[in-house]
Chain A
Amino acid sequence: MKPSRRSLLYKTIPLLLPVKAQAHASEQGLVLLLPTDVYTGAGVAAVVATVLLLAFAPAGLMRRLFASLPLWRWRPGVWPEITSTLSFLFLSVVVAAGFLGPRDPLANPLPLTVWTVFWVALVTLQGLFGDLWRWLNPWSGPLLLLRRVLGPWPVYRIRGTWPGALTFLAFAGFLLADPAPSDPDRLATMVALYWLAMFFLACVFGPRWLRRGEGLTLALTAYARLGVFARRGGRLRAGLPGWQIATRGAGAGLALISVLLLGSGSFDGVNETFWWLTRLGLNPFEFPGRSAIVPQTLLGLILCNLLLIAVLALSLWLGLRLARSGMTLTRAFILFAPSMLPIALGYHVAHYFTSFLVDGQYALVAISDPFLTGADLLGLGDFYVSTGFFNTTDSVRRIFLTQAGAVVAGHVLAVLVAHAIAVRAFGGHRRAALSQAPLAVFMIAYTLFGLWLLSSPRF
């Protein structure tokens, strides 16, 4: 797949050394042979069509579209804390495995748990279904337990959600810029320290810290707002993905994390393109490794987020002018930024789909034999991890269309959600459509950008 050869180190050697190009043409090479411009055109057209249809849609459509269905009365009681405690125990075991288990990140359960099961799979499920993280986070259970044992103690009040935004950015920085985020030893240290720090702060600031100060909970709680299921008024309800955002106001924290999720996710795609490496003055075929570009990656992450905030703010400002609305820009930002969440989730699915297909297999092997005792709990038999689906035109086309489908679906949903918010905020259907015009242009452009990311040369 990935070519390279000759690092910058070579430049210090006066000899001209013949080197080998280990260049896999597969997958991205096959993608370049696909009619991706046709697929991209179709994807952008779908988003444009959604925008146009909404401009002429009857006023009550949005309310009906995002109406939710009451299912049954539901009080989880203390159960989420019990499962959270179990999750904490599980995390302790895999962190121990990180320190003591095999050194290979594809055999050690910790990197597979953190990056494949949690960050790729659980985040996706959270966005599709609802707040699973409430049941699975490793802090709320132990915290409750401690408070039960010691009795409640006075806590400080946490103001705003900026600590959560900062810890999320720190997490994204580790994921994207750290030279070895999958190294079992290193990851075990990071996970243990992060858990301890967040637990300590949750003791100081109370359980509210987890929702406002802990970046992962902030991010996952935001994604839960996209999910089909949610509890409202003691009752479990189900609706079209995004119904919770479309029908309920948001706070500044949700707005900020929504943009950070999209900005960081987008940069996670950009930083793999030859375009980005060329910007850094690197030849992608001589890529010197992550350790050589740590500051550049961190800077890129921050710039990408700032750029997204700026472009979104500009679109909203233009929309307010067009609709002759007296709403402040801050208010509009808080209202509309959560409509970025479906796009962010679409990118998340598209970006990680290929790695999940591979690492998911390693995770299966690890689950089937968690303690390397030779067990075969899942009955896999003699199981070889395969990447054959990257090597044939048909399977690569199916993978590409799945990814492109996720990106386009995310944008279509985002257009719908933003329009529903606008109808609610501006009352009139026509004013809503006017206010949405610049944002719609932004989303169409973003669709093009997302599909370009998928089809451009990259690692």
Chain B
Amino acid sequence: MTDTKTTTTRRSALKTLAGGAAALPLWARYTHAQTAEPIKIGFQVHSTGIGAAYGRWYGRTTEAAAALINEAGGINGRPVEIIAEDDGTDPRRGAEVVEKFANQHGCDIGFGTLFSHVVMGSAPRAGELKLPYFVVSEGHHVASGALNRWTLQPGITDVKSQVTAMAPFISGTLGKKVTMIYPDYAFGHDHRDNLKPAIEAAGGEVVGMIPIPPTETSFTRYFPQIPRDTEVLYHVMIGPAVLTFVKELGEFFGPSAPAIFGFIDSLEAVDLSSPGLEFLDGTYFWEGMPRYSQGNNEYDAFYREKVGVDDNGASVSDPSDVSTYAHMFGCWETLHIVKAGMEAAGYSGPGDRQALIEAVEAMTDMPQSNEHPQGAKVFNGKTHQVFGHQYISKVEGGRLNVVHTASIEDGMYPDEVDYTTMSF
């Protein structure tokens, strides 16, 4: 399994990273410059509220990445200190947390925000305070131009890119005639509006669109609306009812079901081998990073070991504690980009914050490595957004097997903003 001495548990990370004199001798083990002031990274984490399940794994990944960076000597010879503040997955509190980072804790940067509405609530304040703000959210808000020069998303791709990259595989392999089933509000509408042109560009056709009220819990009465010639069902159902949705879909179609394609967000942290979930077998899912080890990626293996995740994407201490594997790598990769950026900028303190932004904007190719275990990436300095590979997996025998890896180019779309022309 895993060498526990090199993995990070909550306690060992606290021991390593906590503020105060008690922790100093432990840092000293990890850094060459024993007297150096730490680089303070404000970690905006959803410890409570509706994002808490993600927050726990974002925390675990962040602690592991910071411990690794410190073991290797820190950043510019200084240890990294993670200062975690809970935002309650609440946009208003998000802005307060950013203020605390800048004014109370003396953080060098803010980092780690996941939920889009919290990013939207916090980023303007980060811009006003001139605090570099590295989000790990997947929202298109950064690349859309809605934010500011101080906000970047260099460690995880955005959903527009993900949807765009799915289309060639869906039309090319699963079928040309696609029916979409989506929750009838903004999130579902975004998929509707982005997938249709992408499917048409890939030579396919959207033959049906079925919006479903977001709090619906039974779906059988909607299924007769699915056109008979449908070859692929694309669904982005979310929330507690998603398992019921897939189950009823299987019951409705029986053995003659069309190909069913969804996003892993629906099943993030669900143990697929759990009895009673057999109806998921044979369906396809987008994955940001393959939960089940495909056995061909040494960097993925390294990353799993350090975070304490087994080959099935579950915690090494509990095989049913399935991680949010498709998303949390973003924290790991972002922290390593922060390190590379600070080193390129010769970062020595808050006075160099602007140089840090410019150094990250200058980045382009990021080859797959221990620092980028999800895959190679290309950063677009103008839109502050990174682009990377996407994975499509099929549920087979209670696990997800990757059947297609989308190229980075498959997920590219024209720039919608050039942040580098904006003033700091």
Contacts and interface: CB of A to CB of B under 8 A. Distances in A.
Interface in A374-427: 374, 376, 380, 382-395
Interface stretch (B89-97, B199-207, B337-345): B89-97
B85 A384 contact: no
Contacts of B146: 13, 15, 17
Nearest to B16: A374
Given A18-B190, A274-B215, A384-B315, A3 B238 contact: yes
A290 B88 contact: yes
Nearest to B43: A104
Contact of B327 (A22, A372, A386, A387): A22
B76 interface: no
B86 interface: yes
A135 interface: no
Given A21-B265, A23-B265, A384 B10 contact: yes
Interface string B115-126: 111101100000
B217 A103 contact: no
A278 B215 CA distance: 9
Interface in B231-271: 236, 238-244, 247, 263, 265-271
A458 B241 CA distance: 10
A388 B187 contact: no
B117 A28 contact: no
Contacts of B92: 179, 289, 291-292
A386 B265 contact: no
Contacts of A180: 86, 88, 90, 93
A25 interface: yes
Contact of A372 (B23, B140, B319): B23
Contacts of B268: 22-25
B411 interface: no
A105 B48 contact: yes
A10 interface: yes
Contacts of A22: 51, 54, 114-115, 265, 268, 327
A289 B89 contact: yes
B359 interface: no
B14 A369 contact: yes
B274 A457 contact: no
From A28, A388, A393, name the one whose CB has the most chain B CB atoms within 10 angstroms: A388
B239 A3 contact: yes
Most buried by B among A13, A387, A394, A395: A387
B100 to A, nearest CB: 8
A32 B53 contact: no
B139 to A, nearest CB: 5
Interface stretch (A39-47, A280-288, A433-441): A280-288
A10 B20 CA distance: 40
Contact of A387 (B89, B163, B316, B321): B321
A397 to B, nearest CB: 9
A395 B116 CA distance: 31
Given A7-B120, A19-B190, A290-B88, A394 B275 contact: yes
Nearest to B314: A388
B18 interface: yes
Given A17-B140, A102-B19, A285-B183, 19 more contacts: A3-B50, A4-B50, A7-B117, A19-B186, A21-B265, A22-B327, A23-B265, A25-B240, A25-B268, A29-B241, A29-B243, A105-B47, A180-B90, A284-B215, A368-B11, A388-B271, A388-B315, A388-B318, A457-B215
Interface of A: 1-7, 9-10, 13, 15-33, 100, 102-107, 179-180, 182-183, 274, 278, 283-292, 362, 365, 368-369, 371-374, 376, 380, 382-395, 457-459
Interface of B: 4, 7, 9-12, 14-15, 18-20, 22-23, 26, 45, 47-54, 56, 59-60, 83-86, 88-93, 105, 114-118, 120-121, 137-141, 144-146, 158-160, 163, 183, 185-187, 189-191, 193-194, 214-215, 217, 236, 238-244, 247, 263, 265-271, 274-277, 308, 314-322, 327
10 contacts: A5-B117, A5-B139, A15-B145, A25-B266, A26-B269, A180-B93, A284-B214, A289-B91, A372-B20, A372-B23
**What are the nearest 9 A-B pairs in CB distance?**
A289-B90, A2-B50, A7-B117, A23-B238, A388-B320, A388-B321, A28-B240, A18-B190, A1-B53
